[in-house]
Structure 1
Amino acid sequence: MKKGILLLVTATLLWAGNYICGRYLGSALPATLLNTVRWAVSTLILWGLLVLSKKQLPIIKWWKEFLVLGFLGIFAFSTLNYIGLKSISASQAGMISAGIPITILIFTPMFLKEKVKPKAWIGAVISIFGVILLVQGKQGVSSEGSMIGEAAILLSCVAWGMYTVLGKKYGKQIDPLTMTAGAAFYGTLLSLVSCIGTVDLGSINMTPNAWICIVYVSTFASVVAYFAWNAGVKIVGAGRAAPYINLLPVWTVLLGVLILQEQISGLTLVGGLVTILGAVLASL
C-alpha cells in the first residue's frame, strides 16, 4: 500500500511540472501540435521500454481498450490542459483539477461496480475544501483567467476521471507499462489527426526554454508520471487513489512560487495543508 501511495504522489508532482511547462509552451506551439510532439516522443520511449522488458505491444488485440484510454487520457486530457493553459495561470489550472476526484468517485461505481467507502468520500470532500481555500488565497494576488480556459480544464477533469477508472478496469488484464504505451500510441494518432487544419506553422515560436519543456513533458510528465499513476491505481484502487490528484494544486503553487515567482498567501498555505490531510485520510 505504501508503494502505491508513493507512486501516486510522485505522479502528481511530475504532472504539476507539466502545468508549469504548459505556460511556457503556450506561446511556442499550438495545443494540438504540442500534444502530438509530446506523445510521439513518449510513445517511442515507451515502446523502447517494452522491447527492453521483452514485451510486445498488442495494438491490434487490445485496440478498443487502447483507443478509449488514448482518447481520454492522452488526447482529450492533455490537449484540453494545453488549451486551458493558454488563457489561465498554471496555479489556476492545477487548482481546478480538484474536480478530478469527484469524477473518479462518480465513475467508479458506474464502470467498476465497486463500492466506494465513506472514508474515501470524506477524504475527497476535505481535499476539495482545501483546494477552495487555495483558490481563495490565490484570488488575492491574481485575477487572471477566462471562461474558455476554465471550461477546458474542467472538461479535462472529466476525461481524466474516466481514464483512471477504466484504466483500473483494463488493468486486470493489461500491465501498466503496456497499457500506457498502447494508450500513448492511439492518443498520438488522434492528436496527429487533430492537427489537420488547426495548426498555423507561423505561430510556432520555439525558444531554449520551450525545448527544455518539450523534453520534460515528453519524459517525466508523460512516461514516468503515467506509469507511476497507473501502477499506483492498480495497487490502491481507483476510489482510494482519487483524492491524491488533489495534491496537484499544492505542487503547482509551490512550483509557481519557485519557478514563476508567484506570490503565496497564508490562506493558500493552509489550503495546501488541508488538501494533503484529505488525501492522507482517504488512504488510511
Structure 2
Amino acid sequence: MKRAVGLLVLATILWSGNYICGRFLATALPATLLNTIRWAISTAILFGILAINKKEIPIFTRWKEFLILGFFGIFAFSTLNYMGLRLISASQAGMISAGTPVAILLFTSLILEEHIKGKSWLGTIVSLIGVVLLFMGKKGDAFNGSWLGGLETLLAGCTWALYTVFGKKFGKNTDPLTMTAGAAFYGTLFSALSCIVTVQPNMIHMTASAWLAVIYVSTLASVGAFYAWNAGVKVLSASKAAPYLNLLPVFTVVLGVLVLKEQISGTSFVGGVITILGAILATL
C-alpha cells in the first residue's frame, strides 16, 4: 500500500515538471509535433525495456484496448495540455487540473458503475465554481486567450480521467509497463497523423534548452510518470488514486513561481484553492 501511494505521489511530481516544460516549449514547437516527438522517444524506450525483459507486447491482439488508452491518455490529454499552455501560465493550468479527480469520479460511476455519494456531487459543484474563477483570473483577458487555454486544459483533465478509468478496466490482466507501451504506440500514431495538417516548418524554433526540456518530457514525465501512475492505480482503485492528483496543482504552482517566475492574480489563487477543496471534498 505504501509503495502504491509513493508511486502516485512521484507521478504527480514528474507531471508538474511537464507543465513547466510545456510552457517553456510553447513557442519552440507546435503542440502536436511536441507530443509526437515526446511519445516517439518514450515508445522506443518502453519497447526497449520490454525487449530487455523479454516481454512481448500484444499490440495487435489487444489493439482496441491500447487504441482507446492511446487516444485519450497519450494523444488527446498531452496535446490539449500543450495547446492550453500556449495561452495560460503553467500555474493556472496546474490549478485547473485540480478538477481532474472529480472527472475521474464521474467516469468511474458511468463506466465502472461504482456508486458515487451526494458529498461527491457537492464537491463537483464546488470545483466547477473554482474553475470558473480561474478562467476569470487574467484581468482584461477573460473572454479571449485565457478562456480558450483554460477550456483546453479542462478538456485535457477529462481525457485523463477517461484514461485512468479505462486503464483500471483494461489493466486487470496487463502489467503497467506493457499497458503504457501499448498506449504510447497508438497515441504516437494519432499525434503523428495530426501533424500533417497542423505543422509548418516556420513554426519550429528549437534551442539547446528546448531540447533538454524535450528530453525531460520524453523520459521522466512520460515513461517514469505513466508507469508510476499505472502501477499505483493497479494496486489501488481508480477512485482511491484520484485524490493524489490534488497534489499536482500544488507542485505546479510552486515550480511555476520558482522556475518561470510566474505571478498569480488574486482571483486565480482563490479559484485554485476552491477547485482543490472541491476535489478533496469529492474524493474523501
Which category of TM-score, normalised to the shorter sequence, fits these structures?
Answer: 0.7 to 0.9
Quick one: which amino acid aligns to residue 71 of structure 1?
F
Q: 1:181-200 maps to which residues of 2 (within 5 A)? A: 181-200=181-200
- The runs of 5 or more residues in structure 1 that have no matched partner are none
Structure 2 distance, partners of 1:188, 1:221, is 15
Q: 1:75-224 maps to which residues of 2 (within 5 A)? A: 75-116=75-116, 146-224=146-224
- From the superposition, tell whether residues 138 and 112 of structure 1 become closer, same or farther in structure 2 (CA, over 3 Å): same
Q: 1:55-112 CA distances to partner (integer Å, 9 max, x unpaired)? A: 1111001100000000000000000011111111101111111221111101102111
Structure 1 distance, partners of 2:52, 2:37, is 23
Given that 2:96 and 2:272 are in contact with CA atoms closer than 8 Å, whether structure 1 keeps it comes out as: no
Q: CA deviation at 1:254?
A: 0.7
Give secondary structure in 2 for the equivalent of 1:172.
Answer: helix
- From the superposition, tell whether residues 79 and 11 of structure 1 become closer, same or farther in structure 2 (CA, over 3 Å): same
Q: CA deviation at 1:113?
A: 2.0
Structure 2 distance, partners of 1:91, 1:104, is 21
Q: 1:3-82 maps to which residues of 2 (within 5 A)? A: 3-82=3-82
Structure 2 distance, partners of 1:2, 1:280, is 20
Structure 1 distance, partners of 2:48, 2:35, is 20
Given that 1:32 and 1:79 are in contact with CA atoms closer than 8 Å, whether structure 2 keeps it comes out as: yes
Give secondary structure in 2 for the equivalent of 1:146.
Answer: helix
- Identical-pair percentage: 63
Give secondary structure in 2 for the equivalent of 1:157.
Answer: helix
Given that 2:96 and 2:134 are in contact with CA atoms closer than 8 Å, whether structure 1 keeps it comes out as: no
Q: CA deviation at 1:282?
A: 8.3
- From the superposition, tell whether residues 85 and 275 of structure 1 become closer, same or farther in structure 2 (CA, over 3 Å): closer
Correspondence 1:226 to 2:232: no
Once the two structures are overlaid, the 10-residue window that deviates more, 233-242 or 38-47, is 233-242
Structure 2 distance, partners of 1:118, 1:3, is 31
| CA-based RMSD | 3.0
Q: CA deviation at 1:162?
A: 0.6
Q: 1:168-220 CA distances to partner (integer Å, 9 max, x unpaired)? A: 00011211110000000000001000011211111110011101100000001
TM-score, normalised on structure 1? 0.86
- The runs of 5 or more residues in structure 2 that have no matched partner are none
- From the superposition, tell whether residues 95 and 154 of structure 1 become closer, same or farther in structure 2 (CA, over 3 Å): same
Given that 1:67 and 1:187 are in contact with CA atoms closer than 8 Å, whether structure 2 keeps it comes out as: yes
Quick one: which amino acid aligns to residue 229 of structure 1?
W
Given that 1:70 and 1:183 are in contact with CA atoms closer than 8 Å, whether structure 2 keeps it comes out as: yes
Given that 2:95 and 2:272 are in contact with CA atoms closer than 8 Å, whether structure 1 keeps it comes out as: no
Given that 1:69 and 1:163 are in contact with CA atoms closer than 8 Å, whether structure 2 keeps it comes out as: yes
